[in-house]
A and B are shown apart, each in its own frame.
Chain A
């Protein structure tokens, strides 16, 4: 015997305790009287029990949401930008270093420090001149004696000409000397200066016979000159330090290298710190 739809609904609701008290009493009376209803109820109960035993499946993956899934724009990531800037500055630094070294090999070791060396050289020249100053001053002091000698030697005025020529030669060599020493190292220049010094003295000795007594180096002066160290050491320390402090002597390549190096390290460290904080 087949049960009706209505009875089936009543039995199903009775099984779940969803009937009101009146309906519940009514169906319970029928269940006692109708075995078919009881059998149908038992089958529904067994089905419900089976369904309740349905295994719980393991989830295949996590379903956590990401900002992109819910349309949240991710915040800009400064760490990425910092890393990019750091990398760019590093590449630029490498480029600048390559250029710097290229310049070094192309123009020699003096090239980067040329302005300072030229200045030092100029100072060396003035030191050489200063070395000769005492003799000249002394010569000025003997002008009276010169005049007397000149009067005595009035008959031989042509002998003064070689003295003037010798002075001119001396000055000319001084200029040439300055020109020649450009582009040489300090030691080389020191050697050159010393060599030139000796040459000058030899020339002066050669001219001595033709010159006025005041224009002739006395043995005392020569004695003070010969044992002197190279010309570069005659430059007063104060002057050298002053030159080193001159802002005009800072190489722009060095400044650029410093800026790029500092920037690359700073941005790299900042990116690392941000990344570390996030993790």
Chain B
């Protein structure tokens, strides 16, 4: 099996199948990043697809280093474009719709068949609570907190991806966390005991 650098090299030579192998490796990361920033499954899927198309076309600009960071930067740009587009034309359901157009009661796209039903419910509620709170942050704050606290990147990488100074990343992250802390407090009954804030257990 080819490693990432070989796949990149072959992709640069025009081998689309090699790039599709890269996509298979990163599509979960990219989609989750897009979903947490945009907050809508359809929009996140569109942004993810656009990000991969853009990545393929701009692959020659990749100069080595962390491919994940390079890709997440493209995703962030795609998300921002999608976010602005959706802002101009809002009214999109927060949760996916079924075939009949009704909002799905149980988000099958979030379910794991190997999980116990109660665990699935708890996981879904936690995901929804976090997303609810993220959606209430300004876009710039949201993008940074997702990169650092959900994707686990360091400040420098987050600054590089968002194309912002390190100081800006620090301050926006601190404020974002503070806002999220207040928001998540409202969902304390949904959070697992270990995740409830100090003094609320």
**A interface residue count range (under 10 / 10 to 19 / 20 to 34 / 35 or more):** 35 or more
Interface majority SS (helix, strand, loop, mixed), chain B: helix
Within the complex, which residue of B155, B181, B195, B199 is in contact with A16, where a contact is CB–CB below 8 Å? B155
Q: Is A279 positioned at the interface, with any CB of B under 8 Å from its CB?
A: no
Question: In the complex, are the beta carbons of B155 and A48 less than 8 A apart?
Answer: no
> Which A residues touch B181, using CB under 8 A?
43-44, 46-47
Contact with B along A58-95 (1 / 0, CB 8 A): 11111111010110100000000000000000000000
> Which A residues touch B110, using CB under 8 A?
55, 57-58
Segment with Cβ contacts to B, from A4-12, A139-147, A185-193: A4-12
Question: In the complex, are the beta carbons of B184 and A56 less than 8 A apart?
Answer: no
Question: In the complex, are the beta carbons of A51 and B20 less than 8 A apart?
Answer: no
> Which B residues touch A39, using CB under 8 A?
198-199
> Which A residues touch B28, using CB under 8 A?
56, 58-59
Question: In the complex, are the beta carbons of A47 and B177 less than 8 A apart?
Answer: yes
Chain A: which residue is nearest B191 at the CB level? A50
Within the complex, which residue of A12, A48, A58, A65 is in contact with B19, where a contact is CB–CB below 8 Å? A65
Segment with Cβ contacts to A, from B2-10, B62-70, B85-93, B144-152: B144-152
Given contacts A16-B155, A18-B170, A61-B45, whether A8 and B149 have CB atoms under 8 Å apart is: no
Chain B: which residue is nearest A67 at the CB level? B16
Chain A: which residue is nearest B49 at the CB level? A63
Question: In the complex, are the beta carbons of A54 and B56 less than 8 A apart?
Answer: no
Q: Is B126 positioned at the interface, with any CB of A under 8 Å from its CB?
A: yes
Q: Is B31 positioned at the interface, with any CB of A under 8 Å from its CB?
A: yes
> Which B residues touch A9, using CB under 8 A?
170-171, 174
CA–CA, A56 to B28, complex, Å?
8
CA–CA, A9 to B41, complex, Å?
32
Q: Using a CB–CB distance below 8 Å, which chain B residues touch chain A?
A: 14, 16, 19-20, 23-24, 27-28, 30-32, 35-36, 41, 45, 48-49, 52-53, 56-57, 96, 109-112, 123-124, 126-127, 130, 145, 148-150, 152, 154-155, 170-171, 173-175, 177-178, 180-181, 184, 191-192, 194-199
Could you show 30 A-B contacts with beta carbons less than 8 Å apart? A8-B178, A9-B171, A9-B174, A11-B174, A12-B174, A16-B154, A18-B154, A39-B199, A44-B177, A44-B178, A48-B149, A51-B145, A53-B195, A54-B126, A54-B127, A54-B130, A55-B124, A55-B126, A58-B28, A58-B110, A60-B41, A60-B45, A61-B45, A63-B48, A63-B52, A65-B20, A65-B56, A70-B56, A70-B57, A72-B16
